[in-house]
Structure 1
Amino acid sequence: MITDNHGRKVNYLRLAVTDRCNLRCFYCMPEEGLNWLSRSELMTYEEMLQICTLLVKMGIEKIRITGGEPFVRKDIMKFLTSLSKLKGLNELTITTNGVLTAPYVPELKKLGVKSVNLSLDTLDAGRFFAITGRDEFANVMQTMEELLKYGIEVKLNTVVMEGKNIQDIIPLVELTKELPVSVRFIEEMPFNGDGHIYTGLKWNYVRILEEISGGFPGIKKVPDPLYSTSYNYQIPGHKGNAGIIAAYSRTFCGTCNRVRITPVGELKTCLYDDGLLNIKDLIRQQAGENEIKETLFNVFNSRAKDGWEAERLRVVHKGVHESMATIGG
């Protein structure tokens, strides 16, 4: 079991397999995209499997595959198949924008993937194009339908943005009436990769809840699962539920059980730090398993208390300006 220096259990890895994406959501990256990583800079599947195998031995029980968009990387299903066979891994999940995902759903079901986070910021095709810069709304909705058809749990991730999709909050919650989906509204964060100064949060978790409560006065708070990053709510008679993730307010740091590995192998023990160790470099230097384990334990034992401290301790980036695509959603 991995425990950090604040007594928090660490059993969840978010692994980004690529920085590339087939959408251009303005809150994640500039419209022209990023300076994409070269193949040599990316971790290979073999390197990722090696580090995942080691981390599962150390106590990681859940792995979420993210990006960028995972399904733009070639042979992703072969890698997922290998991961699904790791002894000791209890849960394999994926975060996707859904553009390319629908054809893979039957195979994901066979691999034992029980839950998928699907990014969906609006139920309107026009606003979808305005937010993402791409006309892919129909493909995303097809992915949701396929996931539900195959009995895979669907969590819809919606970033709440002033002047962009506020009018979608109520319709998205209404979706939970007939569909067994969980809609999670996420505070906007300063990870869009264009170097602009983040001017602050207009829609925090309190205001989002007020908006939802105005449309659904009967909404009730329900118990939050262990390690939950969302405040969770149920509307009587609805098949699904709603949640709010205070991603910028960072109210859930005290129970954080997760670490991240970026596409280039940077280990982040907090979304807001600037990378504490490059695991890919250790592997390519042919470090032994015990050396890597000891190095990892040292990093876990110097973890920031919360996201605010992690941001204050940043060295490489003065302030938070990198793209979420380079971090791993």
Structure 2
Amino acid sequence: MLVDNHGRKINYLRLAVTDRCNLRCFYCMPEDGLNWLSRTELMSYEEMLRATTLLVKMGIEKIRITGGEPFVRKDIMKLLTTLSQLNGLKELSITTNGVLTAPHVAEMKALGIRSVNLSLDTLDANRFFAITRRDEFADVMTTLDELLKHDFEVKINAVVMDGRNTQDIIPIVELTKDLPVSVRFIEEMPFNGDEDSYRGVVWDHVRILDEITDHYPQIQKLVDPAYSTAYNYQIPGHKGSVGIIAAYSRTFCGTCNRIRITPQGTLKNCLYDDGVLNIKDLMRSGASDGEIEKYLLNAFNHRSVDGWEAERLRVEKTGVHESMATIGG
């Protein structure tokens, strides 16, 4: 079992397989995209498999594949197939924007993948285009239908943005009436790839809950699962549930069980740190698995107590305005 210097269990890896994305959501990246990593800068699938195999042996039990958008990377299903066979891995899941996902749903189910997080910030096609700068709403909704048809555990992630989609909060909540989905509203964060445009969170978790409660005063608090990043609720009579993630307020750091590996192989102990170790570089320098394990254990023994400390430690060096696509969701 992996335990950090604050006594927190580490058993969850978010592995970003690419920085590239087929959408241009304004809260994630500039309209003209990013300076994409070259092929040699990215971890190869072989390097990802080596790193994940080692981490699973050390105590990682759950891996979530993120991006960028995972399905824009060539042969992603081959990687998912290999990861699904890792001895000791209890859960493999995916976060996707849904644009390219629908054709792969049946195969994902066959691999034993049960949970998919679908990014969907609005149920209005025009607002979808305004937010993402791409006309892909119909394909995302097709993916949602396919996931439900194949009985996936579906979590719909919606970033709440002042002046952009707050009118969608209640319509998205209403999805839970007839669909067995968890809709999760996420505070907007500063990871938009533009150091000048983020002005802080306007709709925090308290305000989001107030908006929902005004329409559904009967909403009930659920018991949050261990390590949950969301405050979870249910409206009586609804099939699904509602979650609110205080991603900017960072109220869940005390039970954080997750680490991240970016597309270029950088280990992040926290969403808000600037990386603590480059696993890809260690591999390419000839380090053995035993040597890499020692580096990893040392990194885990120096985790920040929370996201605020992680931000303070990096802010003078790089700030916190990188794109979420380069971090790994």
TM-score normalised by the shorter chain: which range applies? over 0.9
* Structure 2 equivalent of residue 153 of structure 1: 153
Structure 1 residues 2, 174: closer, same or farther in 2, change over 3 A?
same
Partner AA of 1:238 in structure 2: H
Supply the distance in 2 between the matched residues of 1:67 and 1:313 (Cα, whole angstroms). 25
Using the TM superposition, give the Cα deviation of residue 200 of structure 1 relative to its aligned residue in structure 2, in angstroms: 1.5
* Structure 2 equivalent of residue 173 of structure 1: 173
In the alignment, structure 1 residue 41 sits paired with structure 2 residue 2: no
In the alignment, structure 1 residue 121 sits paired with structure 2 residue 100: no
Structure 1 residues 27, 317: closer, same or farther in 2, change over 3 A?
farther
Using the TM superposition, give the Cα deviation of residue 317 of structure 1 relative to its aligned residue in structure 2, in angstroms: 4.1
Partner AA of 2:280 in structure 1: K
In the alignment, structure 1 residue 322 sits paired with structure 2 residue 322: yes
* Structure 2 equivalent of residue 253 of structure 1: 253
Structure 1 residues 241, 213: closer, same or farther in 2, change over 3 A?
same
Instruction: Please list, as runs of the form range in 1=range in 2, the aligned pairs for 1:24-103 lying within 5 A after superposition.
Output: 24-103=24-103
Alignment check: 8 A CA contact 1:14 1:260 kept: yes
Q: Give secondary structure in 2 for the equivalent of 1:314.
A: helix
In the alignment, structure 1 residue 196 sits paired with structure 2 residue 184: no
Q: Give secondary structure in 1 for the equivalent of 2:322.
A: coil
Supply the distance in 2 between the matched residues of 1:307 and 1:238 (Cα, whole angstroms). 34
Using the TM superposition, give the Cα deviation of residue 315 of structure 1 relative to its aligned residue in structure 2, in angstroms: 6.5
Q: Give secondary structure in 1 for the equivalent of 2:183.
A: strand
In the alignment, structure 1 residue 133 sits paired with structure 2 residue 133: yes
Q: Give secondary structure in 2 for the equivalent of 1:292.
A: helix
CA deviation string 1:10-48 (max 9, x = no partner)? 000000000000000000000000000000000000000
Supply the distance in 1 between the matched residues of 2:316 and 2:43 (Cα, whole angstroms). 21
Using the TM superposition, give the Cα deviation of residue 86 of structure 1 relative to its aligned residue in structure 2, in angstroms: 0.2
Relative to the length of structure 2, the TM-score reads 0.99
Instruction: Please list, as runs of the form range in 1=range in 2, the aligned pairs for 1:288-307 lying within 5 A after superposition.
Output: 288-307=288-307
Supply the distance in 1 between the matched residues of 2:163 and 2:5 (Cα, whole angstroms). 41
Alignment check: 8 A CA contact 1:117 1:154 kept: yes
4+ long deviations beyond 2 Å: 315-318
Structure 1 residues 316, 110: closer, same or farther in 2, change over 3 A?
farther
Q: How many residue pairs were aligned?
A: 329
Supply the distance in 1 between the matched residues of 2:14 and 2:196 (Cα, whole angstroms). 26
Using the TM superposition, give the Cα deviation of residue 199 of structure 1 relative to its aligned residue in structure 2, in angstroms: 1.7
Alignment check: 8 A CA contact 1:62 1:89 kept: yes
* Structure 1 equivalent of residue 269 of structure 2: 269
In the alignment, structure 1 residue 219 sits paired with structure 2 residue 219: yes
Alignment check: 8 A CA contact 1:191 1:321 kept: yes
Alignment check: 8 A CA contact 1:274 1:316 kept: no
Structure 1 residues 200, 163: closer, same or farther in 2, change over 3 A?
same
Partner AA of 1:142 in structure 2: T
Supply the distance in 2 between the matched residues of 1:36 and 1:121 (Cα, whole angstroms). 24
Where do 5+ consecutive residues of structure 1 fail to align?
none
Name whichever of 124-133 and 192-201 sits farther off.
192-201
Partner AA of 1:289 in structure 2: D
Supply the distance in 2 between the matched residues of 1:272 and 1:294 (Cα, whole angstroms). 23
Relative to the length of structure 1, the TM-score reads 0.99
Alignment check: 8 A CA contact 1:16 1:263 kept: yes
Supply the distance in 2 between the matched residues of 1:299 and 1:292 (Cα, whole angstroms). 11
Alignment check: 8 A CA contact 1:20 1:325 kept: yes
Where do 5+ consecutive residues of structure 2 fail to align?
none
Using the TM superposition, give the Cα deviation of residue 197 of structure 1 relative to its aligned residue in structure 2, in angstroms: 5.3
Supply the distance in 2 between the matched residues of 1:291 and 1:72 (Cα, whole angstroms). 33
Q: Give secondary structure in 2 for the equivalent of 1:313.
A: helix
Alignment check: 8 A CA contact 1:47 1:280 kept: yes
Identity of aligned residues (%): 76
Partner AA of 2:53 in structure 1: T
Alignment check: 8 A CA contact 1:274 1:314 kept: yes
CA deviation string 1:100-141 (max 9, x = no partner)? 000000000000011000000000000000000000000000
CA deviation string 1:75-120 (max 9, x = no partner)? 0000000000000000000000000000000000000011000000
What RMSD in Å do the two structures reach over aligned CA positions?
0.8
